[in-house]
A = this chain, B = another copy of it.
Amino acid sequence: MESLYVVKIGGNIIDDEQLLSSFLKKFAAIRNKKILIHGGGKLATRIAEKMGIPQQMIDGRRLTDAETLKIVTMVYAGYINKNIVARLQAMQCNSVGITGADGNSIRSHKREKAGIDYGFAGDIDQVDTSWFIQLLLNGQTLVVAPITHDGKGQLLNTNADTIAQEISKSLSSFFEVVLIYSFEKSGVLKDVENENSVIEKLQLGYYNELKETEKIFAGMIPKLDNAFKAIEAGVHKVIIGKGQELDMLITGNSGTTISHE
């Protein structure tokens, strides 16, 4: 099977012009088929503040009320998405910027739980891969903003990590998918205070051992549980590390590589 790189970049890269520039150069240089999924960064918060829209935080997460949804749609699907596309075009990387509403590609439903208001947050129901495959075979790179839709006319704010994971899983019967999560750290650390304690390779047995002996930073556990779920669902490899070291993440010279064997 042909390789496909699905790369998710976080706000720390989006917010830093130098990191973004260095990341995009390395991303554009990947010769294989590729998909970029970007999060939001601080611009949405700054614009909400400038417009005098109060941001409600619930358990450390921003509540997506109607006004906040408007802003994240503008910032993620408009400003960030289209600027990344224009910059990739300048590097001869022919890209197409989309949300899950485009081509009806990612359907979700509004998260509902009795007594809890999540606002316009979407949980993914289905990724329609046929159009994605067509674009990729066309030589086009996808740039995905973390907005999906419910099929009834409503856009929904959706976690970019989850989008990356669902896209990777759904395309894994067609491509050998390498899913790369870029974040602030150099990889999964044995000692959260020490950037040099990166675990280079992580398989399920070793991971369970580390979890049992509490030798892994608790905050990483949901991310890693998800990574192993992706592997079980057919994703070839998950790599976690710094986006600005993308070239080295791919060659295994940086970050943590999570795989079956």
Contacts and interface: CB of A to CB of B under 8 A. Distances in A.
Interface of A: 47, 50-52, 70, 73-79, 81-83, 85-87, 89-90, 94-99, 101-104, 131, 134, 138, 140, 147, 149, 151-155
Copies of this chain held together in the complex? 2
Given A73-B79, A83-B73, A98-B96, A90 B51 contact: no
12 contacts: A47-B51, A47-B74, A50-B52, A70-B79, A73-B83, A75-B78, A77-B78, A82-B102, A85-B101, A86-B153, A89-B151, A134-B138
A87 B51 contact: no
A37 to B, nearest CB: 16
Contacts of A75: 74, 78
A75 B70 CA distance: 9
A74 B78 CA distance: 4
Given A74-B75, A74-B79, A82-B99, 20 more contacts: A50-B50, A50-B51, A50-B52, A73-B82, A77-B78, A77-B79, A77-B81, A82-B102, A82-B147, A82-B155, A85-B101, A86-B149, A86-B153, A89-B153, A90-B152, A94-B104, A95-B103, A97-B99, A97-B102, A134-B138
Contacts of A154: 86
A152 B97 CA distance: 17
Contacts of A78: 73-79, 81-82
* Nearest 4 CB-CB pairings of A with B: A78-B78, A74-B74, A90-B153, A74-B78
Contacts of A89: 101, 104, 149, 151, 153
